[in-house]
Amino acid sequence: MTQTAVPVPSARPPARRPGFRPDVEGLRALALGLVLLYQAGVPGTAGGRLGVDVFFVISGFLITGLLVREVETTGRIDLPRFYARRARRILPSAVSVSIAVLLIVAVVAPTTLARVGIDAVAASLQVANWRYVVADLSGLNPVGVGSPLLHYWSLAVEEQFYLAWPPLVVLTAWLARRRQGVLRRWLAAVAGGLALLSLGASVFLTPLSGTVAYLSTPTRAWQLAAGALLALAVPALLALARKAWWPAAAAGSGVVGLAMVLTSAHWTGAVDYPGSAALVPTLGTVILIASGVGAPGVVQRLFSWAPVQAAGRLSYVWYLWHLPVIYVAEEMGVQSWLVLLGAEVLIGGALAWLTAVLIERPFRFAPRWAANASRGLLLGAGFTVLGVLAGISAVVLS
């Protein structure tokens, strides 16, 4: 659910940068769609929660690619600039939606306002996953929402990962340079080791504590690391893409990868998750992205279709709104999965578009905030404080 941008002279989205992958943008729409189906309780989609797994792989792929290209181009990583971009991308929309949720809860479910206020504080501090681990609000049932901010756990996992990963890339780049090693190989060793440790923790903990395994960063980091490993392999894939057999092989593997993700949504709801079961959709996503290197196949053309691209661009803010919409509908007594899905698509989509136009794009692209790292970091700090104060106020006033 992560994408970075360069400063541009307006609040409008910038032109597509070199290396932009429209199929990866469209893949976000698939991830979002799986989550929407799952959360509405559509029959046969209980495993659709794995849409978050797809987001994790995409995020690891995009961010690592960005970091490595910066090192290879400039010889360094501007960490303040990186975190300023993250702050502009993530925090204005996330905090604004959480404040809106507090206001909605105050009207439709005032007796839960104090608890949701604590959730808002945790969400603003990027520790929502640990908040729900402690509270045991795993929310893995496709019907019934423990908190309208429960889905912020996945944002917290990503942000916690990115607190550690860029500095680790910097350290690895320094060591590789000192040892005259190949940067991508050194990083692949680091990311591979991280992935193995994290996957092992996930497999071990899933049968012992499903909540911890599902929500914690150590048991989810391997999926972000899988995306990172794929980003590091792009030059090798580009070399393969020059082979005569690559277009046919890539097209076929793209279909296989898509089938792995889609079929996983049918059976993963009936098994302990994530654990080893998460390997199937995660590797399917890796195959999908890898198959898009070089000539696009039928799957890439599908994900590059304009309506899919539009949904992919809105996927982050749409994800922020989908659970609050479900929460309100259930508080109003709605039980039909068809109505819930319609509300997610129509109401959630409309709120996502408004949020993107009024909040996400202005703060993300406007020169006032994108001009330098200090402003972006101050903006992020300001929104974090605002979200924490709103959550505390909800607790005090309830």
pLDDT at 19: 61
Does pTM surpass 0.75? yes
Low-confidence ranges of the chain (pLDDT < 70): 1-19, 137-145
Residue 243: alpha-carbon gap to chain centroid: 33
**pLDDT for 20:** 76
For the record, the structure tokens of 226 come out as: 């899988």
Say what the pLDDT of residue 345 is. Answer: 97
How far apart CA 56 and CA 379 sit, in angstroms, is 25
Q: What is the pLDDT of residue 143?
A: 33
How far, rounded to the nearest angstrom, does the alpha carbon of residue 295 sit from its chain's CA centroid? 26
Residue 138's pLDDT is 45
Instruction: Report pLDDT for 370.
Output: 85
| pLDDT of 359 | 97
Mapped to the 3 state alphabet, what secondary structure does the chain carry? CCCCCCCCCCCCCCCCCCCCCHHHHHHHHHHHHHHHHHHHCCCCCHHHHHHHHHHHHHHHHHHHHHHHHHHHHHCCCCHHHHHHHHHHHHHHHHHHHHHHHHHHHHHHCHHHHHHHHHHHHHHHCCCHHHHHHHHCCCCCCCCCCCCCCCCHHHHHHHHHHHHHHHHHHHHHHHHHHHCCCCHHHHHHHHHHHHHHHHHHHHHHHCCCCHHHHHHCCCCCHHHHHHHHHHHHCHHHHHHHCCCCCHHHHHHHHHHHHHHHHHHHHHHHHHCCCCHHHHHHHHHHHHHHHHHCCCCCCHHHHHHCCHHHHHHHHHHHHHHHHHHHHHHHHHHCCCCCHHHHHHHHHHHHHHHHHHHHHHHHHHHHHCHHHHCCHHHHHHHHHHHHHHHHHHHHHHHHHC
pLDDT digits (tens, 9 = 90+) for 241-265: 999 999 999 999 999 999 999 999 9
Please choose, from the candidates 62, 85, 90, the residue with its C-alpha nearest in 3D space to the C-alpha of residue 152.
Answer: 90
In this prediction, residue 286 carries a pLDDT of 98
Instruction: Give dist(CA 63, CA 357) in Å, integer.
Output: 24
Distances (CA, A) of 108 to 40, 240, 395: 19, 56, 16
Half-sphere exposure of 398 (CA within 13 A, CB side): 21
Cβ atoms of 232 and 184 within 8 Å: the answer is yes
Contact status, residue 131 vs residue 394, Cβ threshold 8 Å: no
Cis preceding linkage at 324, omega within 30: no
Q: Which of 339, 261, 289, 338 is nearest to 49 (CA)?
A: 261
Q: What pLDDT does 294 receive?
A: 82
| Confidence at residue 142, expressed as pLDDT on a 0 to 100 scale | 33
What token pair was written down for 357? 């136009």
Q: By the 8 A CB rule, do 236 and 188 touch?
A: no
Distance from C-alpha of 205 to C-alpha of 199, rounded to nearest angstrom: 10
pLDDT, position 18 = 52
For 51-62, b/e burial (b = at least 16 CB within 10 A) is bbbbbbbbbbbb
Cβ pair 122, 128 in contact under 8 A? yes
Per-residue pLDDT of 6-47, as tens digits, reads 333 344 555 555 567 899 999 999 999 999 999 999 998 888
Separation CA 183–CA 71 (nearest Å): 9
Predicted confidence at residue 16, as pLDDT, reads: 54
Residue 125's closest CA among 394, 392, 387? Answer: 387
Q: Can you give the pLDDT at residue 398?
A: 85
